Structure 1
């Protein structure tokens, strides 16, 4: 199997509306452990999010688009609360199955979840200081990706940050071994490997998104697409 080119046709099991609901719930719940290890939001929070929110010197609003089971938003909200930041955290996902898991989490005050999407939020006139996502980009078709990127900028009056996997043989091999103890009773092995095959390399994502997006590699096997918001433009 070649990873030289992105596989934009392969579908993940959890994206099937008819997939096994218990396997999906287990997958979404275990993402908390997986994301703590591989997604690097702790580093992004310390180096990017905390300094940015602190510099606002006022209460802030943060949106997590495609929040899934809500673990990333909850993790960031707990960190911000410990740091004394006043933030309203809103996680949205169009899949009610994901929101079912998200709303069962023990979230700090100021964190909430809604079953909606970026287009609907724009129609409502919503705006945020920071819009972010985790592991959303590789799920999208090329047209969906450009629309998602544009809508996320139009929702933000400050920053936009989209984090994702970077495709590569080393990432694929390491994940195959590392995921073994977490995989039983879930989609984690199959979908994780499919996610890597669907994901972009840094230069590919930069080419697709274009200016003013800046695509960084904050650490191995990860990409972070960053752009200024358009809500106040």
Structure 2
């Protein structure tokens, strides 16, 4: 278990979230610790977040996107970040491009690289490369492509979201991945993390988009994985 003081070694950090709430779920405690230590942190939101409740008649796709973006900005402030400076890529929720052959992939990679350079990122936080959600995997590939274009890429730490609930054996790290896993003590940031998760009101019961019975809500079992005073990260190591 790495102590809270570990964050001082990370330097200016950029967190990349596939959807609004991933930043709070996967690494909200670490983000809170970074800001408590006055380490600069900036955020990227990859998708537009509009598909958690696609059958809502009361909220159009545009309205759903606005609600979720507002929740994202609110969660950032609760974690100590600036809510008016995130990079919003606005890629389609559920269809984030994952290769250069897909529309908007190259554009998103260029935007990510420019944002990382603008903030002089020493560390980037990104979903685990095989986190079992297609947008999470696509986000990992976008970041990987952006880092490949940088002469001195930042340190890359990979966080878990859906692997806690849905990971198949092949989704988990193997010796071929050349990654090291570790935990960080986030007890000092746990309360902020909990408040940031709760700020995503549309994703926790009773929700906001209440006219879509088949819409997504985070289950109590899922939320329990993120109510503990530690977060897990993976980092590539030299072979």
Q: TM-score, normalised by structure 2?
A: 0.43
Q: TM-score, normalised by structure 1?
A: 0.44
More helix by share: 1
